[in-house]
C-alpha cells in the first residue's frame, strides 16, 4: 500500500482523506455543499469522489475506518447528516447509500464551547448526538463494541466528565497508534489541542477549541515518512499558546504537509484585522513560529477558494504571503486547493508518501515529476505513548 493525503475541492472548508500504509482510512471534516449534489451544477461532486476511493464492507456499505471532526463549524461538517449514517449500525436501512463511520473522533470541548457561545448547525447537532450515543454505548458495554459504535475522545472534558472513559480517552500530549479499535503500526497520532483554558472565566470560541493533530504516516518501513499537521480553524491566540507549551518540543509541530488553519486566514497569524489595518497589520511572532516548523520540501496547503489580492479573509492574501515565505525557507511550496484543480475534471489535490518523502501526484501527464527531498527527522523529546486498546471513543 501507499500512504496518501487527499484534499477535496470544497471551496473554503475542510475535507481531507488520509489513507495509511495499512489501507485504513481517516476522514478529517466534511464540507459537502448542497450544490455538490446537483448534477446540473458545476460544484465539484465531492461525495462521488470520496465514495470512489472508499471500500465497502460485507453488507455493501461504503465506510471510513474513522472520521475526525476538528470543530463544529458548518464548513467543517456540512453534509454529514445527509451523507453519513448515524444511529445503531444494526438498524442501517437496506439500500441506503449513506457512509458508515466505523469510529468517530471528537472533542467534547469543541462542542461545549460551541453550544455555550454559538448555535450548532443541523449537521453539528447530528454529530453531537451521535457522539453522545456512542459514549453511552461504551458506558453500557465497555470495549465490547463493534463497527459503527466506536468513539475516540480527543481531550478531557471539564469538571471530570470524562474521567470514567479512560480506555477511549486521548489526553493532550498523548500519542496513539490505533484506528477503529485496532493497533496500526503505520500511523502515530499526537494530540496537541484543544488546550485547557488557563482562566476558567475565559471565553473561548468554537474555532479556538479546534483539534490540532500531528499525524505521522509510515511508508516503506520509515515510521515518520510524512508528518501532517492539521488544526481546524484555530486562531492566533491558540497558536501562541501552542508555541508557549511546545517550544522546547518543537519537533511535535514539525510537518511535511501543513493544512493552513482556517483556510489561510490572517486571524491565525495576527491579532490585527487585515481589512482594517492592511499592510500595517502585524504578525504574531509566536503564532508564526508555531506554524513555521516546516521540514525540508514541505507542502503548505490552503483548503480555500482562490486567493485574491483584496480585503477577503479567509482566505487572506497577506496570510498567503507569510506561508509562501515559510515554504520558501524550507525549499517547499504553497498551494491553494481550488486554484490547483482542473475545472473540467475536478479531483482532490493528492499526495503520495514513500520512504523517501512526500510528493504531489500531478494530474497532467506533462507535469514535471519532482522527487521529494530526503530528510532525517529531529526528535527533541519523547512523548507519552498511549496505545490503549478498546472499542468506543468520543469527546
Tell the residue number behind the cell numbers 500512504, with chain if given.
3
Tally of CB atoms within 10 A around 275: 13
Residues 6+ apart with CB under 8 A from 180: 24, 65, 66, 102, 103, 147, 150
Nearest to 108 by CA among 179, 209, 233, 213: 209
How far, in Å, CA of 316 to CA of 313, rounded?
Answer: 5
Give the number of residues written for the chain: 395
Residue 38 is predicted with a pLDDT of 78
How far, in Å, CA of 68 to CA of 151, rounded?
Answer: 10
Burial class of 373 by CB neighbour count within 10 A (0 to 12, 13 to 18, 19+): middle
Residue 322 is predicted with a pLDDT of 98
Pairing state between β 169-170 and 150-154:
parallel
Q: Cell numbers for 6, please give them.
A: 487527499
Q: Alpha carbon 215 to chain centroid distance? A: 9
Does residue 11 come out as left (phi exceeding 0), alpha (psi in the -120 to 50 range) or beta?
Answer: left
Nearest to 151 by CA among 159, 143, 163: 143
How far, in Å, CA of 292 to CA of 167, rounded?
Answer: 34
3-state secondary structure of 21: coil
Does residue 219 come out as left (phi exceeding 0), alpha (psi in the -120 to 50 range) or beta?
Answer: beta
Check: CB of residue 52 under 8 Å from CB of residue 25: no
- Angle 80-82-85 (CA atoms, 0-180°, nearest 5)? 75
Check: CB of residue 262 under 8 Å from CB of residue 316: no
Dihedral of CA atoms 55, 110, 305, 298 in degrees, nearest 10, equals: -70
Tally of CB atoms within 10 A around 232: 31
Peptide bond just before 315 cis, omega within 30 deg: yes
Provide long-range contacts, Cβ within 8 A and 24+ apart, for 117-124: 117/203, 117/205, 117/206, 118/205, 118/206, 120/72, 121/72, 121/74, 121/77, 121/78, 122/81, 123/74, 123/77, 123/78, 123/79, 123/80, 123/81, 124/72, 124/73, 124/74, 124/77
Residue 393 is predicted with a pLDDT of 32
3-state secondary structure of 340: helix
Check: CB of residue 224 under 8 Å from CB of residue 187: no
Residue 96 is predicted with a pLDDT of 97
Alpha helix locations (H) across the chain? Answer: 46-51, 74-77, 80-83, 108-117, 122-141, 236-246, 261-264, 274-277, 285-290, 317-329, 337-340
Q: What is the mean pLDDT of each run of 10 residues along the chain (395 residues)?
A: 94 97 98 82 92 97 98 95 97 96 93 70 95 96 95 91 92 97 97 78 64 97 96 96 98 98 97 91 97 98 96 95 98 97 92 95 48 35 40 34
How far, in Å, CA of 46 to CA of 33, rounded?
Answer: 9
3-state secondary structure of 6: strand
How far, in Å, CA of 329 to CA of 326, rounded?
Answer: 5
Whole-Å CA distances, 182 to 40, 85, 103, 238: 42, 22, 11, 31
How far, in Å, CA of 392 to CA of 229, rounded?
Answer: 25
The domains found in the chain, sorted by start residue, are 3-385 (3.60.15.10)
Amino acid at each position: 500500500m501507499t500512504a496518501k493525503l487527499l484534499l477535496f475541492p470544497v471551496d473554503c472548508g475542510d475535507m481531507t482523506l488520509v489513507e495509511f500504509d495499512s489501507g485504513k482510512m481517516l476522514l478529517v471534516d466534511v464540507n459537502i455543499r448542497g450544490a455538490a449534489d446537483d448534477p446540473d451544477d458545476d460544484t465539484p461532486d465531492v461525495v462521488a469522489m470520496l465514495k470512489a476511493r472508499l471500500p465497502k464492507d460485507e453488507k455493501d456499505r461504503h465506510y471510513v475506518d474513522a472520521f475526525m471532526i476538528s470543530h463544529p463549524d458548518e464548513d467543517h461538517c456540512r453534509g454529514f447528516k445527509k451523507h453519513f449514517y448515524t444511529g445503531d449500525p444494526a438498524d442501517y436501512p437496506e439500500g441506503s447509500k449513506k457512509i458508515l463511520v466505523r469510529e468517530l473522533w471528537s472533542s467534547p470541548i469543541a462542542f461545549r464551547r460551541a453550544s455555550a457561545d454559538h448555535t450548532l448547525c443541523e449537521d453539528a447537532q447530528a454529530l453531537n448526538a451521535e457522539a453522545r450515543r456512542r459514549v453511552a454505548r461504551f458506558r453500557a458495554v465497555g470495549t465490547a463494541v463493534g463497527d459503527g459504535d466506536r468513539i475516540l475522545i480527543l481531550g478531557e472534558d471539564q469538571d471530570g466528565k470524562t474521567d470514567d472513559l479512560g480506555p477511549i480517552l486521548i489526553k493532550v500530549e498523548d500519542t496513539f497508534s490505533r484506528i477503529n479499535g485496532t493497533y496500526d503500526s503505520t500511523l502515530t497520532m499526537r494530540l496537541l489541542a484543544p488546550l485547557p483554558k488557563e482562566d476558567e472565566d475565559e471565553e473561548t470560541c468554537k474555532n479556538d477549541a479546534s483539534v490540532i493533530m500531528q499525524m505521522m504516516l509510515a511508508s516503506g518501513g520509515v515510521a515518520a515518512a510524512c508528518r501532517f499537521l492539521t488544526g481546524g480553524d484555530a486562531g492566533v491566540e491558540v497558536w501562541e499558546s501552542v508555541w508557549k507549551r511546545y517550544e522546547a518540543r518543537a519537533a511535535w509541530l514539525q510537518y511535511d504537509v501543513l493544512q493552513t488553519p482556517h483556510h489561510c486566514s490572517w486571524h491565525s497569524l495576527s491579532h490585527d484585522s487585515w481589512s482594517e489595518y492592511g499592510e500595517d497589520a502585524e504578525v504574531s511572532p509566536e503564532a508564526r513560529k508555531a506554524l513555521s516548523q516546516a521540514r525540508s520540501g514541505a507542502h503548505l496547503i490552503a483548503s480555500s477558494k482562490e486567493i485574491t489580492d483584496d480585503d477577503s479573509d479567509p482566505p487572506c492574501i497577506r496570510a498567503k504571503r507569510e506561508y509562501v515565505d515559510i515554504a520558501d525557507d524550507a525549499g517547499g511550496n504553497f498551494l491553494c486547493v481550488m486554484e490547483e484543480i482542473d475545472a473540467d475534471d475536478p479531483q482532490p489535490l493528492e499526495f503520495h508518501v514513500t520512504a523517501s518523502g512526500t510528493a504531489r501526484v500531478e494530474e497532467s501527464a506533462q507535469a514535471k515529476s519532482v522527487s521529494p527531498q530526503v530528510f532525517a527527522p529531529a526528535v527533541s523529546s519523547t512523548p507519552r505513548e498511549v496505545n490503549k486498546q478498546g472499542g468506543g471513543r468520543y469527546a
